[in-house]
Amino acid sequence: MGSKGQPISGVKDGLNGAWAPIMDSPNGWVSIGHKNTCMKYNDMNPHPPHWGLSGQDNEEITQHILCCEEPPNSGPDLSDEMGFVAELTNLEELVIDTMHPIWFQRKHGYHGTTHEVAEEFCRTVAGLHLCPVEAYCPNGPRDSKQLFLQKDAFEGIQWAPISNYNNEDIGMGNNWILVGTQNKDPRSTCSQYEMLNDGDTPPWMADGSSVELKEHVLCCMPQDDLKHEDTITRSMNPIWMDHSYGWRGGSHSDAVKFCSGLGGKKLCPYAAYCPHGPGKNPLGGHASDFNLEGEQWAPMFGEENSWVMIGRKYGNVATTCLTHKQLEGMPPDWGLTSDNAGAKLHVMCCSI
């Protein structure tokens, strides 16, 4: 966009109420009309728009898009945001395989008001579901790094909403878990609100106040969606491979030969890599969280030099499980060579 309050030149008049997609956040949009020009949808509303994911009833307000040429090596440094995990614990691997959790915060449009709004945020940011305690705290109890991805507790008192997850008929409830610390006591992390407050409920439960105490949320894939993975696993017997098995991030043809060397396996097709489609995490069964690795591409069965994003570009979950053609408009030059090996750390081989 142009300077604050001014849309970029070339946008026509008469666009009041018009929105354009942006790369800054999943299901992110910016106003390009005369009302609230250049304001992000997430800054003006409690959660991203339903129509941003469904594409329904938004034809009149999403008729414009601005495409940019990306400078080389222009990606942001995501290390401070996501941290670094040398090796996942066994319990974290299980959580990734069975729940596919993703952390969100203010920059992604999460405002931390009520439990109900948090539920809606997970649904509208990527078709997800609030996570249960087991996803937030797979590593507890311990003195540090109890949180998913061995995160340190967030600074000060920070509460996050949790779900029943495996029994939705009971309802979501209104439970909150401490992802920070109370009185600087690391043993308080991962305790539920009622446990630390003699059974009382939060005073900000109904009105959504005290948003400064609720800046983080963990969203998981709905259990019904994950059932589809069992079908893929049984029919194609996919297996993730990385450098520990000899994969060095070579070309597409190198990947074909690599899988063939594993008893005649083939590269997996898109349906195996991404059984849930664009914007959702890829199939489980891997020993690392691809979301922490930034931009990661994997070679697919089918056309020569076809690749799929299994990580996230710019930290945006909406880019996950898009093909290179969908995201960049053409196959990659590095797909035919051993160049850019750091962005090709994983390959999945199938029995087709």
Peptide bond into 331 cis (omega under 30): no
Cα 217 to Cα 39, 270, 279, 311, distances in angstroms: 23, 29, 18, 20
pLDDT on residue 95: 93
Q: How far apart are CA 311 and CA 218, in angstroms?
A: 17
Average pLDDT over residues 230-238: 91
**Claim to verify: residue 167 and residue 239 sit in the same structural domain:** no
Residue 85 counted as domain residue: no
Say if residue 161's pLDDT is above 50: yes
Residues 279, 214 share a domain: no
Give the per-residue pLDDT at 81: 47
Same domain, 231 and 210: no
| pLDDT grade for 331, boundaries at 50, 70 and 90 | very high
Average the pLDDT over 72-89 and give the result.
54
Domain that holds residue 112: 101-220
Residue 329 lies in a domain: yes
Please give the residue that has the higher pLDDT: either 260 or 57.
260
Contacts of 6 (CB under 8 A, 6+ apart): 37, 38
- Range of weakest confidence among 66-75, 122-131, 188-197: 66-75
Question: Which of 170, 190, 220 is at the close of a domain?
Answer: 220
Q: Are residues 200 and 235 in the same domain?
A: no
User: Given 44, 68, 92, which residue is the final one in a domain?
Assistant: 68
- β-bridge pairing 266-267 and 347-350: antiparallel
Above 80 in pLDDT, residue 116? yes
Say how many domains are in the chain. 3
Indicate whether 108 and 10 sit together in one domain.
Answer: no
Residue 210 counted as domain residue: yes
Judged against a pLDDT cut of 50, whether residue 117 lies above it is answered with yes
Lookup: tokens for 47: 């959660």
pLDDT band at 77 (very low <50, low <70, confident <90, very high): very low
Establish if 91 belongs to a structural domain: no
Q: Which of 21-25, 27-31, 99-103, 238-242 has the lowest mean pLDDT?
A: 21-25
Same domain, 274 and 341: yes
- Residue 19 falls inside a structural domain: yes
Are residues 338 and 244 located together in one domain of the fold?
Answer: yes
Residues 231 and 213 in one domain: no
Q: 207 and 253 share a domain?
A: no
Q: How much is the pLDDT for 3? A: 43
**Structural contact between residues 216 and 231, judged by C-beta atoms closer than 8 angstroms:** no
User: Among candidates 266, 332, 256, which has minimal Cα distance to 296?
Assistant: 332
Query: What is the reported pLDDT for 140?
Result: 75
What integer is the mean pLDDT of 105-121?
93
Does the pLDDT value for residue 213 go beyond 60?
yes
Q: What is the mean pLDDT of residues 323-335?
A: 95
Looking at the structure, do residues 178 and 236 belong to the same domain, yes or no? no
Q: What is the C-alpha separation between 279 and 256, in angstroms, rounded? A: 26
What's the pLDDT tens digit per position in 22-73?
Answer: 887 889 999 988 778 889 998 888 889 988 888 888 888 998 888 887 766 5
More confident residue, 230 or 13: 230
Question: Is 70 exceeded by the pLDDT of residue 236?
Answer: yes
Q: Same domain, yes or no, for 228 and 204?
A: no
Residue 316 and residue 267 in one domain: yes
SS3 labels along the chain: CCCCCCCCCCCCCCCCCCEEECCCCCCCEEECCCCCCCCEHHHHCCCCCHHHHHCCCCCCCCCCCCCCCCCCCCCCCCHHHHCCCCCCCHHHHHHHHHHCCEEEEHHHCCCCCCHHHHHHHHHHHHCCEECCHHHHCCCCCCCCCCEHHHECCCCCCCEEEECCCCCHHHCCCCEEEECCCECCEHHHCCCEHHHHCCCCCCCCCCCCCCHHHCCEEEEECCHHHHHHHHHHHHHHCCEEECHHHCCCCCCHHHHHHHHHCCCCCEECCHHHHCCCCCCCCCCCCCCCCHHHHCCCEEECCCCCCCEEECCCECCEHHHCCCEHHHHHCCCCHHHHCCCCHHHCCCEEEECC
Please indicate, yes or no, if residue 86 is contained in any of the structural domains: no
Residues 68-94 have a mean pLDDT of 64
Asked if 70 and 181 touch (Cβ cutoff 8 Å), the reply is no
Q: Is the pLDDT of residue 74 over 80?
A: no
Determine the pLDDT at residue 246: 96
> Which is higher by pLDDT, 99 or 291?
99
Residue percentage of the chain with pLDDT more than 70: 88
What gap in Å lies between CA 115 and CA 205, rounded to an integer? 7
Taking the model in full, what pTM does it have? 0.82
User: What proportion of the chain, given as a percentage, has pLDDT over 90?
Assistant: 58
Confidence of residue 122 (pLDDT cuts 50, 70, 90): very high
* 90 within a domain of the structure (yes/no): no
Report yes or no on 253 lying in a domain. yes
The last residue of one of the domains, among 191, 220, 249, is: 220
Average pLDDT of the chain is 87
